[in-house]
Amino acid sequence: MEIFYFTLIGAALYLSSDWILDRIETKRGSRFANRSVIFFVIILSLSMVVFAGMRALTESPMVN
């Protein structure tokens, strides 16, 4: 079941990163020369936040 969640989140991250990059380029008025690098930075940032949040939600609290 865990692989399903990772796949679903990965697809959502990809689509949202593409949407964010499209919005930035629309406001700018032209495409970036290094579009793939900017896409990578966006998806990396989003994935770090999402997976850190998932880890915080799924870790059990420490019991002394």
7-33: pLDDT as tens digits: 999 999 999 999 999 999 999 999 999
Q: What pLDDT is stored for residue 63 in this prediction?
A: 62
In a domain, 63, yes or no: no
- How many folded domains does the chain comprise? 1
Query: Residue 40: what are its φ and ψ, rounded to 5°?
Result: -60, -45
pTM, two decimals, is: 0.81
In a domain, 64, yes or no: no
In a domain, 53, yes or no: yes
In a domain, 8, yes or no: yes
Q: In terms of C-beta density within 10 A (0-12 exposed, 13-18 middle, 19 or more buried), how is residue 25 classed?
A: middle
Provide the domain limits for residue 33. Answer: 2-58
